[in-house]
A and B are shown apart, each in its own frame.
Chain A
Amino acid sequence: MATLDNANPTILSASQLPTRQAKLAPRKGPESRYNDIVFAKPSYLAQPFCGQDAVAWPRTSDWHDEFADEAIDEQEIYDLISTISDPEHPVSLGQLSVINLCDIHITPSPSLGAPEPNTIVQVRVEITPTITHCSLATVIGLGVRVRLEKALPPNYRVDVTCKENSHNQDDQVNKQLGDKERVAAALENDTLKGVLDKMLETCA
Chain B
Amino acid sequence: MSPTPRGTRAALSDDDDDNNKPDDKDWEFTLVLEGHDSEIKSCTFSPSGSYLATCSRDKSVWIWEDIGASEADDEWETIAVLNEHEGDVKAVAWCPDVPGRNARRRYGADVLASASYDNTVRIWREDGDAEWVCVAVLEGHEGTVWGLRVGGPARAGERFPRLMTFSADGTIRVWTLTEDDTDADEDGPGSKSSLGGIPNTMRRSLREEWACTATLPKAHTRDIYSVAWSGESGLVASTGSDGTVALYREEDKKAAEAEDQPMANTDDVASGNQPQESSKWNLLTTHANAHGPYEVNHITWCKRYDAGSERRGEEEMLVTTGDDGLVRPWQVDVST
- Residue positions of A touching B, CB distance < 8 A: 117-120, 153-155, 157, 175, 178-182, 185
Contacts and interface: CB of A to CB of B under 8 A. Distances in A.
Given A118-B292, A118-B293, A154 B144 contact: no
Contact of A118 (B57, B144, B288, B295): B288
Contact of A157 (B90, B168, B222): B222
B243 A120 contact: yes
A179 B117 contact: yes
Contact of B293 (A155, A178, A181): A155
A75 to B, nearest CB: 23
Given A118-B288, A155-B293, A175-B144, 16 more contacts: A117-B292, A120-B242, A120-B243, A153-B293, A154-B323, A155-B292, A157-B242, A175-B117, A175-B143, A178-B223, A179-B117, A179-B144, A181-B39, A181-B41, A181-B90, A182-B88
Nearest to B87: A175
Contact of B292 (A154, A157, A178, A179): A154
Contacts of A179: 117, 144, 168
B241 A157 contact: yes
Interface in B266-297: 288-289, 292-295
B22 to A, nearest CB: 33
A181 B241 CA distance: 12
A182 B293 CA distance: 22
Contacts of B243: 120
13 contacts: A117-B293, A118-B292, A120-B221, A120-B222, A153-B293, A154-B294, A155-B292, A179-B117, A181-B39, A181-B41, A181-B57, A181-B88, A185-B39
A14 B92 CA distance: 52
Interface string B172-210: 000000000000000000000000000000000000000
Contacts of B293: 117-120, 153-155
Contacts of A181: 39, 41, 57, 88, 90
Interface string B233-265: 000000001110000000000000000000000
B10 to A, nearest CB: 23
A161 to B, nearest CB: 13
Contacts of B144: 175, 179
B19 to A, nearest CB: 41
B275 to A, nearest CB: 31
A61 B292 CA distance: 28
A180 B117 CA distance: 12
B289 A118 contact: yes
Nearest to A153: B293
Contacts of A157: 222, 241-242
B169 to A, nearest CB: 11
Of the candidates B221, B223, B293, the one having the most CB atoms from chain A within 10 angstroms of its own CB is B293
A178 B143 CA distance: 10
A2 to B, nearest CB: 27
Contacts of A175: 117, 143-144
Contacts of A180: 241, 295
Contacts of A119: 293
A155 to B, nearest CB: 3
Nearest to B41: A181
Nearest to B225: A180
